[in-house]
Chain A
């Protein structure tokens, strides 16, 4: 751990930044080459956010211990009525409780 910049690290970070920017502009480049969006493609595009975010959630839930599962289930129930931050706080509280009171 040092506070000077490591050239190799910087190169890696900039490569990652370029790769990330390419993903952010890539869909625009693709879509502007096509005149209209076919309905099926539009339906597919509309499903993208839920489809991708699910892949960040599902493995965390199934690979997590009972503490993580409990936290996420509590958060799921809270989210049916309350906004995101309250849901997050409820999940966090559930994880803290199961870890420190029940020792999961």
Chain B
């Protein structure tokens, strides 16, 4: 394993770990608030490891939604990973099967964004970098979930500390980081319309998959560039 790559991965991942720590704490706190034990919350963070869907699952569990519907909702929120792993494949074709297993288990939004950035600008995606980046997000995520669950009852109303605005703002930052890409504005516009329409007509959490499908469909229908463009990705870390 390349030491430099590991260190570079750990550094990059640490930035994500710090910016996602509030969400891990939020998840833990909300989980306990909705009837999970501290251990349940930790096991969920360790095995599901997908923040937004964990929060959706907890929310539905608190409303006593049928278990199969909770799992289906988590699947819907995470559906984007199917497209992530498809797009990631060309950059990690040199991984061994076991390395691929860990790579896909650790495949989160920032992991995907950062891997594609490295793949496209020529630095390449080595397993050393990928694992360093992934684990330096994974363990803090687990740790802060536990911390949040432990102190959950002490936070009180998340609105008072404006914890609730952090999640959409964080996701907005991720979206904006792609604004240099071809077709960014039509795609974002289409996804916005699609998700809002689905939110009111079909309901949450389907607005995620439906809105995304509308945006991706628009991207597929946009005119193809005449020559091969080099997408200049200016993705931010958080």
Contacts and interface: CB of A to CB of B under 8 A. Distances in A.
Interface string A65-100: 001100110011001000111011001100110010
Interface stretch (B3-11, B124-132, B140-148, B162-170): B162-170
A101 interface: no
A23 B83 CA distance: 8
A21 B100 CA distance: 12
A58 B211 contact: yes
B49 interface: yes
A20 B18 contact: no
A16 B44 contact: yes
Nearest to A97: B162
Interface residues of B, number: 99
B156 interface: no
Contact of A92 (B165, B210, B214): B165
A59 B89 contact: no
A70 B119 CA distance: 36
B29 interface: no
Nearest to B75: A19
Contacts of B165: 64, 67-68, 71-72, 91-92, 95
Given A3-B37, A87-B169, A51 B236 contact: no
Contacts of A59: 195-196, 199, 204, 207
B173 A79 contact: yes
Contacts of B220: 40-41, 43-44, 47
Contacts of B181: 46-47, 50
A38 B177 CA distance: 25
Contact of B175 (A14, A50, A64): A50
Contacts of A40: 220, 224
Contacts of B100: 28
Nearest to B116: A49
A56 to B, nearest CB: 4
Interface string A3-41: 111101111111111011111111110111000010111
Nearest to A8: B67
B232 interface: no
Contacts of B89: 27-28, 31-32
A68 B220 CA distance: 32
B38 A44 contact: no
B26 interface: no
23 contacts: A3-B38, A10-B40, A15-B71, A16-B48, A20-B48, A24-B105, A25-B104, A28-B88, A30-B82, A43-B183, A44-B217, A47-B183, A49-B116, A50-B175, A50-B188, A50-B215, A51-B187, A56-B167, A63-B199, A71-B169, A72-B165, A79-B236, A91-B169
Interface of B: 15, 18-19, 32, 35-40, 43-44, 47-50, 52-53, 57, 61, 67, 70-72, 74-75, 78-90, 100, 104-105, 107, 109, 112-113, 116, 159-162, 164-178, 181-184, 187-188, 190-192, 194-196, 199, 204, 207-212, 214-220, 222, 224, 231, 236-238
